[in-house]
């Protein structure tokens, strides 16, 4: 039964990765399409994963001194135009409100594609003295960017995210903040999502519109393509000067503030799917799983079976585990396959014979292994430990995949074959010229993902142009 359900349900991952991805999004009931292109519906199961991510990150933001606020959804077109680089980056993607109520608007309003301009305007009002600094605000909201090609969670005309915006008295503090928030993204991926990363700086070409520096976290998907999964920007004083955000410092001088912003979005749901999923469906890291344990009663019509299932549920819930009993009238095989499709980390099988013998079967979604475990007071602890093991195993597997898909080479003629056959990252040297980045993109459809400044060895040369190299850089094909 389970087999049939599986095979009918989704395309094989290696046969057609894109179709496999879409199949999981739909069959695991993560999302649905709406009638407006690029605008998706986050269904309960997908949204519950986002709630877990949100709770995890929000706690860390608050622990590091940030407060949540909510800024208007609409930005006057004239305001968006105040920072030159910023508006050039976003203008082509804007959704524009031209009518409000019964009136045509004189100054059209843009649905926020991001809120740097609004935060800058607010900070210009709020910040007068060094005593007002730093200001550390964050907001959870959706943003709209008119995209031509869209895919669930990966690229949409509307997506959910958080955007943090901070202003500081000194460059040093602002730079520390930029890295601190990048590190919280790394931590979220590692400790919640079991996703290892490459991190570094974006090149001039790839950085955020208006930023002086952009730090990125890049995750490697199963198909060898890469997903930018969060960014943290150091703005220097660009917005400060455009919006006149000044303060009176301790030395009695008027100074411009230093600014950052940082964002992570529902793209992370795409990362979870494509890093961990398999041909049977989603495979969820336990800490982000909306349901961590499903109890499947076997021969549930036999007396005592369902009661025992509910008893075990209560026991696990008491230990803080998110658990459900599948007491529907479907067959156990069908239930197994459904739980696999949804990626539920732990399945507990419980039949009359198990109950008689005083045990149950604990099956791990990530590797399919089954263990017989005693039905006693220690069960919840065993399950908690099992979930930690699953997390570690999933992280280790993803890390191994990442490690074996970073190819170090300085031989430009090899780039195409590496990208075509195994994918992943090419780690190489870079002279620092944008021309070489563009050449890689032109020749191999790969983009620079990030670089480490000044890390190239003394005798290193850029594989594209042969000139002296300055940096280590990672190229990859990306979503």
Based on the shown chain and the rule CB under 8 A, indicate whether residue 93 belongs to the binding site for its own copies: yes
Based on the shown chain and the rule CB under 8 A, indicate whether residue 248 belongs to the binding site for its own copies: no
98 — phi, psi (to 5°)? -115, -10
Based on the shown chain and the rule CB under 8 A, indicate whether residue 179 belongs to the binding site for its own copies: no
Based on the shown chain and the rule CB under 8 A, indicate whether residue 148 belongs to the binding site for its own copies: yes
**Judging by DSSP bridges, how do beta strands 359-364 and 323-325 pair with one another?**
unpaired
Among 127, 160, 355, 390, binds its own copies (CB under 8 A): 160
**Quick one: which segment of 81-89, 93-101, 209-217, 274-282 binds its own copies (CB under 8 A)?**
93-101
Based on the shown chain and the rule CB under 8 A, indicate whether residue 39 belongs to the binding site for its own copies: yes
Based on the shown chain and the rule CB under 8 A, indicate whether residue 268 belongs to the binding site for its own copies: no
Residues 293/286, Cβ–Cβ less than 8 Å? no
Based on the shown chain and the rule CB under 8 A, indicate whether residue 317 belongs to the binding site for its own copies: no
Among 28, 71, 154, 273, binds its own copies (CB under 8 A): 71
Residues 154/274, Cβ–Cβ less than 8 Å? no
Comparing CB distances to its own copies, the nearer of 16 and 98 is 98
Query: 402 is written with which tokens?
Result: 């990442």
Q: Using the 8-state DSSP alphabet, how is residue 214 labeled?
A: E
Residue 72 CB, nearest approach to its own copies (Å): 4
Residues 233/208, Cβ–Cβ less than 8 Å? yes
Contact residues for 29 (Cβ-Cβ < 8 A; gap 6+)? 43, 44, 45, 46, 342
Q: Which among 275, 145, 262, 98 is positioned nearest to 197, based on CA atoms?
A: 275
Comparing CB distances to its own copies, the nearer of 17 and 39 is 39
**Nearest-10 crossing angle of helices 267-276, 379-403:** 90
452 — phi, psi (to 5°)? -110, 120
**Quick one: which segment of 47-55, 190-198, 366-374, 466-474 binds its own copies (CB under 8 A)?**
47-55
Based on the shown chain and the rule CB under 8 A, indicate whether residue 123 belongs to the binding site for its own copies: no
As a whole number of Å, the CA-based R_g of the chain is 25
**What stretch of H or E contains 441?**
helix 434-444
Based on the shown chain and the rule CB under 8 A, indicate whether residue 120 belongs to the binding site for its own copies: no
Residue 415 CB, nearest approach to its own copies (Å): 33
Comparing CB distances to its own copies, the nearer of 108 and 453 is 108
Comparing CB distances to its own copies, the nearer of 134 and 236 is 134
Residue 31 CB, nearest approach to its own copies (Å): 9
How far is residue 158's CA from residue 416's CA, in Å, rounded to a whole number?
A: 34
Comparing CB distances to its own copies, the nearer of 80 and 312 is 80
Based on the shown chain and the rule CB under 8 A, indicate whether residue 250 belongs to the binding site for its own copies: no
Comparing CB distances to its own copies, the nearer of 112 and 182 is 112
Residues 221/276, Cβ–Cβ less than 8 Å? no
Among 133, 144, 339, 355, binds its own copies (CB under 8 A): 144
Residue 212 CB, nearest approach to its own copies (Å): 26
Residues 322/262, Cβ–Cβ less than 8 Å? no
Query: How many other C-beta atoms are found inside a 10 Å radius of the C-beta of residue 213?
Result: 18
Query: How many other C-beta atoms are found inside a 10 Å radius of the C-beta of residue 459?
Result: 8
Q: Using the 8-state DSSP alphabet, how is residue 203 labeled?
A: P
Residues 173/181, Cβ–Cβ less than 8 Å? no
Comparing CB distances to its own copies, the nearer of 32 and 367 is 32
How far is residue 246's CA from residue 124's CA, in Å, rounded to a whole number?
A: 7
Residues 350/312, Cβ–Cβ less than 8 Å? yes
Among 12, 59, 72, 353, binds its own copies (CB under 8 A): 72
Residue 51 CB, nearest approach to its own copies (Å): 7
How far is residue 44's CA from residue 49's CA, in Å, rounded to a whole number?
A: 9
Helix (H/G/I), strand (E/B), else coil: 307: helix
**Quick one: which segment of 16-24, 119-127, 166-174, 319-327 binds its own copies (CB under 8 A)?**
119-127
Among 8, 101, 254, 413, binds its own copies (CB under 8 A): 101
The number of residues that bind its own copies (CB under 8 A) is 52
**Quick one: which segment of 43-51, 244-252, 279-287, 351-359 binds its own copies (CB under 8 A)?**
43-51
Based on the shown chain and the rule CB under 8 A, indicate whether residue 348 belongs to the binding site for its own copies: no
315 — phi, psi (to 5°)? -60, -45
Based on the shown chain and the rule CB under 8 A, indicate whether residue 301 belongs to the binding site for its own copies: no
Based on the shown chain and the rule CB under 8 A, indicate whether residue 334 belongs to the binding site for its own copies: no
How far is residue 475's CA from residue 422's CA, in Å, rounded to a whole number?
A: 13
Based on the shown chain and the rule CB under 8 A, indicate whether residue 314 belongs to the binding site for its own copies: no
Interface positions with its own copies (CB under 8 A)? 32, 34-36, 39-44, 47-48, 50-51, 67-76, 79, 92-102, 108-109, 111, 118, 121-122, 125, 137, 141-142, 144, 146, 148, 157-158, 160
């Amino acid at each position: 039964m389970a087999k049939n359900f599986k095979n009918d349900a989704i395309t094989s991952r290696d046969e057609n990765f894109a179709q496999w991805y879409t199949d999981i999004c739909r069959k695991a009931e993560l999302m649905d399409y709406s009638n407006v292109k690029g605008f998706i519906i986050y269904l309960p199961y997908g949204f519950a994963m986002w709630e877990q991510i949100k709770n995890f990150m929000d706690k860390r933001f608050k622990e590091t001194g940030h407060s949540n606020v909510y800024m208007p959804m609409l930005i006057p077109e004239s305001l968006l135009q105040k920072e030159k680089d910023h508006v050039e980056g976003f203008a082509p993607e804007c959704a524009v409100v031209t009518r409000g109520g019964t009136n045509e608007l004189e100054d059209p309003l843009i649905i926020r594609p991001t809120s740097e301009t609004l935060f800058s305007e607010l900070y210009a009002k709020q910040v007068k003295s060094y005593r007002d600094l730093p200001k550390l605000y964050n907001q959870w909201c959706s943003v709209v960017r008119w995209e031509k090609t869209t895919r669930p969670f990966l690229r949409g005309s509307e997506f959910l995210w958080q955007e943090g915006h901070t202003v500081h008295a000194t460059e040093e503090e602002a730079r520390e903040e930029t890295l601190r928030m990048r590190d919280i993204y790394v931590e979220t991926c590692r400790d919640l999502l079991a996703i290892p990363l490459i991190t570094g700086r974006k090149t001039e070409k790839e950085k955020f519109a208006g930023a002086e520096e952009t730090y990125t976290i890049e995750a490697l998907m199963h198909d060898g393509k890469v997903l930018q999964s969060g960014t943290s920007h150091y703005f220097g004083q660009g917005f400060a000067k455009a919006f006149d955000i000044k303060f009176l410092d301790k030395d009695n001088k008027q100074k411009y503030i230093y600014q950052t912003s940082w964002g992570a979005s529902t793209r992370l749901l795409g990362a979870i799917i494509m890093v961990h999923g398999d041909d049977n469906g989603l495979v969820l890291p336990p800490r982000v799983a909306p349901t961590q344990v499903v109890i499947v009663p076997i021969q549930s019509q036999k007396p005592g079976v369902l009661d025992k299932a509910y008893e075990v549920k209560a026991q696990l819930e008491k230990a803080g585990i998110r658990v459900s009993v599948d007491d529907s009238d479907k067959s156990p095989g069908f239930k197994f396959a459904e739980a696999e499709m949804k990626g539920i980390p732990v399945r507990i099988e419980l039949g009359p014979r198990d109950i008689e013998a005083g045990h149950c079967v604990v099956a791990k979604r990530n590797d399919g292994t089954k263990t017989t475990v005693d039905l006693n007071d220690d069960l919840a602890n065993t399950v908690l430990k099992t979930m930690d093991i699953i997390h570690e195993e999933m992280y280790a597997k993803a890390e191994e995949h990442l490690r074996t898909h970073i190819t170090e080479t300085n031989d430009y003629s090899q780039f195409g074959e590496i990208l075509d056959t195994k994918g992943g990252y090419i780690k190489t040297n870079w002279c620092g010229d944008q021309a070489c980045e563009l050449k890689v993109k032109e020749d191999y459809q790969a983009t620079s993902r990030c670089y480490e400044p000044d890390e190239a060895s003394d005798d290193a040369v850029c594989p594209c142009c042969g000139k002296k190299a300055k940096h280590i850089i990672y190229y990859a094909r990306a979503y």
